[in-house]
């Protein structure tokens, strides 16, 4: 009886229909620099373990929004301004600006320093990406990337725009998940995990990780609902200060938010 109760309790904990929304932040901090930088990558992720459902929505860094202080600016500046004024406050500011403009509760954040991505991929033994079309100098097909190549792939801006970069970022994340799920990579996971932990900080509570991990395993890389705010959902314009930015078209974005986040 005790075993049954414990089993049911564990099942309820792992599969409880509780949605968790996490903002993934990517910053390009060089050695010796502080975290006072703009967020090159912003992916609003939602996880529902019971279904399981994992959704990832990439947000353009040049999206013109209202910041927490009421001013208008690019969405990726919220982190920078907060960190510059008070070190350590950047992720919370990024969470607030996304919640305020998208109307989505943002529970936690996970911030990755791109400089550590190279060490992580090398420790993993490389990552194989399968490109549906030519991009970043690679022809369509499968390519094995080492850490330096992976870093260049996610950073690449030559001959493309932010929308293409967001698509490459999601493709790379799925490739990493596939690599980590491969038995051939399992001997490398301890070293790769250590390298990754040295490159991230997060406020996701410890008790939440088993639920998130189980949802990711059950969904699998191919089961992740990866989307981006597309060119049709944002319109380019020039600010009075001469900046090239993107105005969100909420009539196009809101249906996606409702579908993915039940908002």
pLDDT in tens, 45-75: 999 988 889 999 999 999 999 998 899 999 9
- 90 inside domain: yes
pLDDT at 10: 47
pLDDT in tens, 124-146: 999 999 999 999 889 999 999 99
pLDDT in tens, 36-47: 788 989 999 999
- Across the range 105-122, mean pLDDT stands at 92
Give CA separation, 126 vs 113, 118, 121, 145, 150, in Å: 18, 9, 5, 6, 8
Q: Which long-range contacts (CB under 8 A, 24 or more apart) does 32-37 make?
A: 34/83, 34/87, 35/83, 35/87, 35/88, 35/90, 35/111, 36/80, 36/83, 36/84, 36/87, 36/90, 37/79, 37/80, 37/83
Whether the pLDDT of residue 8 is over 60: the answer is no
High-pLDDT (> 90) share of the chain, %: 64
Q: How far apart are CA 199 and CA 176, in angstroms?
A: 15
- Across the range 212-236, mean pLDDT stands at 92
Residue-averaged pLDDT of the chain = 88
Whether the pLDDT of residue 3 is over 80: the answer is no
How many domains does the structure of the chain reveal? 1
Q: How far apart are CA 114 and CA 254, in angstroms?
A: 30
Confidence label for 7 from pLDDT (cuts 50, 70 and 90): very low
- 5 inside domain: no
- 175 inside domain: yes
pLDDT at 241: 87
- 11 inside domain: no
Q: How many helices (H) and strands (E) does the chain have?
A: 9, 12
Q: How far apart are CA 2 and CA 235, in angstroms?
A: 59
CA distance between the termini of the chain: 41
Peptide bond preceding 52 in cis form (omega within 30 of 0): yes
pLDDT in tens, 80-94: 999 999 999 999 999
pLDDT in tens, 152-201: 998 887 656 788 889 899 999 999 999 988 898 889 999 999 998 889 99
pLDDT in tens, 243-256: 899 999 999 999 99
* Structural domain span for residue 200: 19-261
Q: What count of other Cβ atoms lies within 10 Å of the Cβ of residue 192?
A: 21
- 6 inside domain: no
CATH number for the domain harbouring residue 184:
3.40.630.190
pLDDT at 31: 60
- 8 inside domain: no
Confidence label for 16 from pLDDT (cuts 50, 70 and 90): low
């Amino acid at each position: 009886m005790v075993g049954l109760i414990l089993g049911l309790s564990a099942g309820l904990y792992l599969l409880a229909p509780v949605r968790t929304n996490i903002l993934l932040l990517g910053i390009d901090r060089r050695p010796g620099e502080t975290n006072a930088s703009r967020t090159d990558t912003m992916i609003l992720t939602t996880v529902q373990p019971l279904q399981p459902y994992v959704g990832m929505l990439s947000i353009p860094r040049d999206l013109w929004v209202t910041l927490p202080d009421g001013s208008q600016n690019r969405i990726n500046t919220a982190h920078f301004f907060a960190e510059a004024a008070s070190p350590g406050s950047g992720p919370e500011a990024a969470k607030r600006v996304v919640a305020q403009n998208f109307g989505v509760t943002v529970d936690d954040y996970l911030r990755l320093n791109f400089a550590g991505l190279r060490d992580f991929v090398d420790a993993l033994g490389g990552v194989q990406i399968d490109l549906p079309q030519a991009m970043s100098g690679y022809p369509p097909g499968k390519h094995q990337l080492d850490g330096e190549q992976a870093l260049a792939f996610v950073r690449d801006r030559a001959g493309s725009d932010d929308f293409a970069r967001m698509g490459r970022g999601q493709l790379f994340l799925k490739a990493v998940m596939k690599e980590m799920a491969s038995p051939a990579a399992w001997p490398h996971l301890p070293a790769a995990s250590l390298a990754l932990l040295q490159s991230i900080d997060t406020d996701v509570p410890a008790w939440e990780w088993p639920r998130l991990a189980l949802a990711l395993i059950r969904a699998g890389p191919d089961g992740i609902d990866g989307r981006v705010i597309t060119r049709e959902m944002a319109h380019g314009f020039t600010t009075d200060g001469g900046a090239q930015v993107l105005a969100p078209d909420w009539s196009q974005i809101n249906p996606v938010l409702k579908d993915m986040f039940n908002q």
